[in-house]
Amino acid sequence: MGKSATGKSVGIAVWTLDCTSVAVHEQPMPPRTSQKLTRRPDLALQRKYGGLIAGVDEAGRGPWAGPVVAAAVIFHGKPPAGVNDSKKLAPAERENLFSKIFAAAHVGIGIAPVELIDEINIYHATHRAMCDAISALAFAPNAALIDGNRCPKLDIPSEALVSGDALSISIAAASIIAKVTRDRMMTELASTFPPYRWERNKGYGTADHASALREYGVTLHHRRSFRPVWERLMMEAAA
């Protein structure tokens, strides 16, 4: 059993895979998909491969604070109505779909903390989280569909899809799981660090976050490898 950001058990297994070599080597960039993005995501790409197909996506590459979270989803039942790219859904819609996805799919979650992001950079940390999400699935997938333009190096067939959360319903579901999981984590952190307003900005570089960073400085949850945070640290060192 994994635990949610609130500490409650959820119906997933989350463990850490030693994929150092996976995280720092990537496959060559595949050609960009020519599929139009006007339709809703569906299962067409899953049927292309057959078997158990995992959709994989992440949340939190850009923020100045907090982890990057990845999710992997394999549907074993009918996908719930309304699943779409998480960015196209309101927070209440994502929360409503979160439990419905768990009921209809195998879900794995991978979390790369701030320390790992600063150690190996956000790109490689994102791939590490994706590896861990796939490893956390109850069943090994036959192939993986990855949102983005590069795949982490995996021992199963994988395909990178630009705007994949608008093409594959499994990737769209993974985007919802990753987003809701990370948002809950940042809301919980906000209760300990209220000036940064992480319950609102989720660690992104908004005006209120930048103002708090200038006034209160860097916390242990900030990414020191990100320029605005690094610049604030240099100011503190020079003072």
Residue that wins the pLDDT comparison between 212 and 20: 212
- The answer to whether residues 117 and 210 belong to one domain is no
- The answer to whether residues 224 and 179 belong to one domain is no
The contacts of residue 18 (CB under 8 Å, 6+ apart) are none
The bridge status of strand 158-161 relative to strand 143-147 is parallel
Q: What is the pLDDT of residue 208?
A: 97
- The answer to whether residues 206 and 159 belong to one domain is no
Q: How many separate helices (H) and strands (E) can be counted in the chain?
A: 9, 7
- Residue 4 maps to a domain: no
pLDDT surpasses 90 at 43 = no
User: Binding site annotation covers 58?
Assistant: yes
- Residue 1 maps to a domain: no
- Residue 3 maps to a domain: no
- Residue 45 maps to a domain: yes
- The answer to whether residues 148 and 169 belong to one domain is yes
What residues make up the domain containing 59? Answer: 39-190
Domain boundary among the residues 174, 190, 206 is at: 190
Determine phi and psi for 148, rounding to 5 degrees. Answer: 130, -170
- CATH number for the domain spanning 156: value is 3.30.420.10
Determine phi and psi for 43, rounding to 5 degrees. Answer: -100, 15
pTM: 0.83
- Residue 98 maps to a domain: yes
- The answer to whether residues 220 and 110 belong to one domain is no
- The answer to whether residues 90 and 154 belong to one domain is yes
Long-range contacts formed by 226-234: CB under 8 A, 24+ apart: 226/64, 226/122, 228/64, 229/64, 229/65
Q: Per residue in 174-209, pLDDT tens?
A: 999 999 999 999 999 999 999 999 999 999 999 999
| Mean pLDDT within 129-146 | 96
Q: What is the pLDDT of residue 39?
A: 57
Tokens matching residue 185: 């984590």
- The answer to whether residues 82 and 103 belong to one domain is yes
| Mean pLDDT within 34-58 | 73
- The answer to whether residues 78 and 112 belong to one domain is yes
- Residue 232 maps to a domain: yes
- The answer to whether residues 76 and 154 belong to one domain is yes
Domain boundary among the residues 190, 205, 226 is at: 190
- The answer to whether residues 162 and 198 belong to one domain is no
Q: What is the pLDDT of residue 184?
A: 98
- Residue 27 maps to a domain: no
Residue that wins the pLDDT comparison between 68 and 34: 68
Q: What is the pLDDT of residue 34?
A: 41
Number of structural domains (the chain) is: 2
Mean pLDDT for the chain overall: 86
- The answer to whether residues 121 and 204 belong to one domain is no
- Residue 179 maps to a domain: yes
- The answer to whether residues 173 and 96 belong to one domain is yes
Output the DSSP codes for 136-160.
Answer: TSSS--SEEEEESS-PBP-SS-EEE
pLDDT surpasses 50 at 21 = no
User: Binding site annotation covers 159?
Assistant: no
